[in-house]
A = this chain, B = another copy of it.
Amino acid sequence: MNHPDPQKLSINTATLRQQWDLRQIIEGCVRHEIRGISPWRDQVAALGLKETARLIRQHQLRVTGYCRGGMFPAVTAEQRQTRLNDNFRAVDEALELGAACLVLVVGGLPAGSKDLNGTRQQVRDGLSALLEYSRPLGMPLAIEPLHPMYAADRACVNTLKQANDLCDELGDEGLGIAVDLYHTWWDADFHREIARAGLKRLLAFHICDWLNPTQDMLEDRGMMGDGVIDIRGFRQAVEAQGYTGFHEVEIFSRLNWWTKDPDQVLLTCKARHLEHG
């Protein structure tokens, strides 16, 4: 198939977070016949977990991922336990929302640390502990490799290979990968690692575009088609593994899309998903 299935479009709520609250985003998705949504914890907390779950059920939306857990590393064992406890709550919330997975941004170097290997070990240990909680409850955890430019401050898992290695080590049950093209498009091993992941580990697929030039390391992501990522080619590679899940649009864009009329943003997401997804 050349064009993507328009029914597979999902909106990560960060894409509209400056213009709308979560209730408005849900209503906007319904109005534009978008069937998938991926909300963030702060937005859910603001609207209320039960009310969010009620609205999602009422409108028969699919929660393609819950953003986010992770952030395992910390300076002290007590801090790590606090973060782990917070991850337990994130799993509970993801269950309440019927999310397809809890997306994990694993965390970067603790304050003052230069020990990248040790930090990665903390991630492994945190993941292992979280799996003990999430597996019996049946909530899949999706490790999201983040672009290497976030290795220090956000996530020290920066490649699909690292994510696959973690799945190998910790076991596939209830564990997989969230593939975000913004973070992984540059990787010469992309196709090899997608094949290695296979259908069982492909829990989520996030799209947007890499702008050239990029003005801001965090909040200058592009709309599909405005950048250099061969989104269609990568989407087909993921679907060649049997992936039939959603294509989730996640655009942080302080300079552009966050300043625009949100209904127009959703219309643009739909059009660009079809044209470039």
Residue A266 interfacial (CB < 8 Å): no
Dominant secondary structure of chain A at its interface with chain B:
loop
Give chain B residues whose Cβ lies under 8 Å from the Cβ of A108: 212
How far is B218's CA from A217's CA once the two chains are assembled, in angstroms? 11
Chain B's nearest CB lies how many Å from the CB of A28?
A: 30
A210 touches B147 (CB 8 A): no
Contact B116 A230, beta carbon cutoff 8 Å? yes
Most buried by B among A158, A188, A212: A188
A162 to B159, CA, bound (A): 14
Residues of B within 8 A of A217 (CB): 149, 214, 217
A44 CB to nearest chain B CB (Å)? 27
The answer to the question of A151 belonging to the interface, with a C-beta cut-off of 8 Å to chain B, is: yes
* A116 interface neighbour in B162, B185, B227, Cβ under 8 Å: B185
1/0 per residue A179-220: CB within 8 Å of B? 000000111110000000000000000000010111001000
Contacts of A228 in B (CB 8 A): 109, 113-114, 152
State the Cβ distance, A110 to closest chain B Cβ, in Å. Answer: 10
A158 to B159, CA, bound (A): 12
- Chain B proximity of A165: nearest CB distance (Å): 8
> Does A27 make an interface contact (CB < 8 A)?
no
**A147 partner residues in chain B, CB cutoff 8 A:** 148-149
Q: Is the CB of A162 within 8 A of B188?
A: yes
* A112 nearest in chain B by CB position: B228
Q: How far, in angstroms, from A113 to B210 measured CA to CA in the complex?
A: 13
User: Smallest CB–CB gap between A196 and chain B, Å?
Assistant: 15
Task: Report yes or no: A152 in contact with B210, Cβ–Cβ below 8 A.
Answer: yes
Which B-chain residue is minimally distant from A225 (CB atoms)? Answer: B114
Q: Report B-chain residues with C-beta under 8 Å of the C-beta of A151.
A: 185-186
With beta carbons under 8 angstroms apart, the residue of B153, B158, B162, B227 that contacts A212 is B153
* Interface set of A (CB-CB < 8 Å, partner B): 108-109, 113-116, 120, 147-149, 151-153, 156, 158-159, 161-162, 185-189, 210, 212-214, 217, 227-230, 233
12 inter-chain pairs at a CB distance below 8 angstroms, sorted by A residue, are A108-B212, A109-B212, A113-B228, A114-B229, A114-B230, A116-B230, A120-B188, A148-B187, A152-B212, A152-B227, A161-B188, A214-B217
